[in-house]
């Protein structure tokens, strides 16, 4: 499987309460060429998202202070952050995937399946694709509004 390198630097906000997983994901993403900032709970993730407006957010669902669902809802309800693609990383099964996509998530990955190399490459590709789609939509809206 061919690895997709970021065309331009992509700023990713990783919201994950597990220190072990936060470090592992941060290392993997940095090694793949992404710029990564981290938050360890939902409240901090929402604050950093509003302050920095990252290109993409990787969001755990089971978080302290604010749940991933609450963070997703707040992000999609704020004009400043509504256009940021959000990829869900969860230890829950994919039974919630469709509901989360309807709520605005760009993609859904089970953490346990990301241990395999091919699935981590799929995550990196999903990040690149979601950011490129988001940037294309922004450009399109600039042309339509003129």
Q: Which domain CATH number covers 125?
A: 3.40.50.2300
CA neighbor of 69 nearest in space, from 79, 78, 77, 59:
59
Could you tell me the pTM of the whole model?
Answer: 0.83
Res 1: pLDDT? 45
Q: Is residue 114 part of a domain?
A: yes
What is the domain extent for residue 66? 11-145
| pLDDT given for residue 112 in this prediction | 73
CB atoms within 10 A of CB 31: 10
For the chain, residues with pLDDT lower than 70 are 1-8, 93-95, 114-120, 140-146
- HEC states along the chain? CCCCCCCCCCEEEEECCCHHHHHHHHHHHHHCCCEEEEECCHHHHHHHHHHHCCCEEEEECCCCCCCHHHHHHHHHHCCCCCCCCEEEEECCCHHHHHHHHHCCCCEEEEHHHHHCHHHHHHHHHHHHHHHHHHHHHHHHHHHHHC
Residue 56 bridge partners (DSSP): 12
The reported pLDDT for the residue numbered 141 is: 66
How many independent structural domains does the chain possess?
1
User: Does 133 reside within a domain?
Assistant: yes
Residue 1 lies in a domain: no
Could you tell me if residue 3 is inside a domain?
no
The answer to the question of residue 69 being in a domain is: yes
Tell me what pLDDT residue 83 has. Answer: 92
């Amino acid at each position: 499987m061919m690895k997709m390198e970021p065309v331009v630097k992509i700023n990713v906000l990783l919201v994950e309460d597990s220190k072990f997983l936060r470090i592992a994901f941060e290392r993997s993403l940095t090694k793949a060429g992404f710029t990564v900032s981290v938050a360890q709970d939902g409240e901090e993730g929402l604050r950093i998202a509003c302050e920095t407006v990252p290109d993409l957010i990787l969001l755990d669902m089971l978080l302290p202070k604010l749940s991933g669902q609450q963070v997703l809802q707040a992000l999609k309800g704020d004009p400043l952050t509504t256009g940021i693609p959000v990829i869900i990383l969860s230890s829950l099964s994919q039974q919630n995937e469709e509901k989360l996509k309807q709520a605005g998530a760009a993609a859904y990955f089970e953490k346990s399946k990301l241990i395999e190399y091919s699935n981590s490459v799929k995550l990196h590709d999903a990040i690149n694709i979601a950011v490129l789609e988001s940037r294309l939509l922004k450009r399109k809206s600039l042309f339509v509004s003129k």
